[in-house]
Amino acid sequence: MTILALCRHGQSEWNQQNRFTGWVDVDLTDKGIAEARKGGALLAAQNIRFDAAYTSYLTRAIRTLWLALEDLDQCHIPVIKDWRLNERHYGGLSGLNKQETRDKHGDEQVHIWRRSFDVPPPLVGADHKYHPANDPRYKGIDPALLPGGESLKLTLARVLPYFISEITPQITAGKTLLISAHGNSLRALLKHLFAVSDADIPGYEVPTGNPLLIELTPGSLAVKSARYLDEERAKPLPPL
């Protein structure tokens, strides 16, 4: 049996403040820490031994992973961090209050920015404080690869090549993996694993701190079953 567990980070400080976050590095709230620990406890109850874990460059996902591994008593496993698992970059919306942005631009425009597949938010230039070229954690990365804003389509174009080249070979080799990431980077993985259409994928959401346990056919990415471990907080999943 090949298992892939996906976990969205717990509530962040800017989730709590209803602000667009994206690549801005904010920490977990107390609620987010509790969600991460509950996710770890739910995974521990499954008696799964993970071979490795993957996460992004952002603190909220990294800490969620740490807390889960602590509850799993599996802090020893390899942890691979990669910027390509980061959240969607919200460009010029980064840091803005979502309701104030709706009041200014209208509900329809904000909905398009947030939930359309291929319409990016207003982009920021390389001199903007929220452009990753100005963040030291990305100093070893070609600035041409770093986004100033992303649609879901562009997020997919960043996440999926990494998943296919680096993570898929581990899965097909029979490794059991845990990925701690973000709403939109995990949405990209759902699209790929469940073959969801461009039109339908914006409608699927991974809840915070609720692990999604996916059983795959050995030697492939064919999904045999999938379920959220916290049934009370589960969201609809794409059909198999």
Give the active site residues: 9, 87
User: Where do runs of H (alpha helix) occur along the chain?
Assistant: 13-16, 30-44, 59-72, 98-105, 107-115, 152-162, 168-172, 183-194
Which residues make beta-bridge pairs with 18? Answer: none
Which residue reads 């100005």 in tokens? 134
- Both tokens assigned to 141: 């990365």
Q: In what order do the strands lie in the sheet with 223-228?
A: 79-81, 52-55, 177-181, 2-8, 212-216, 223-228
CA–CA separation, 205 and 190 (whole Å)? 9
Residues 6+ apart with CB under 8 A from 214: 3, 4, 5, 6, 193, 223, 225, 226
Would strands 52-55 and 79-81 be described as parallel, antiparallel, or unpaired? Answer: parallel
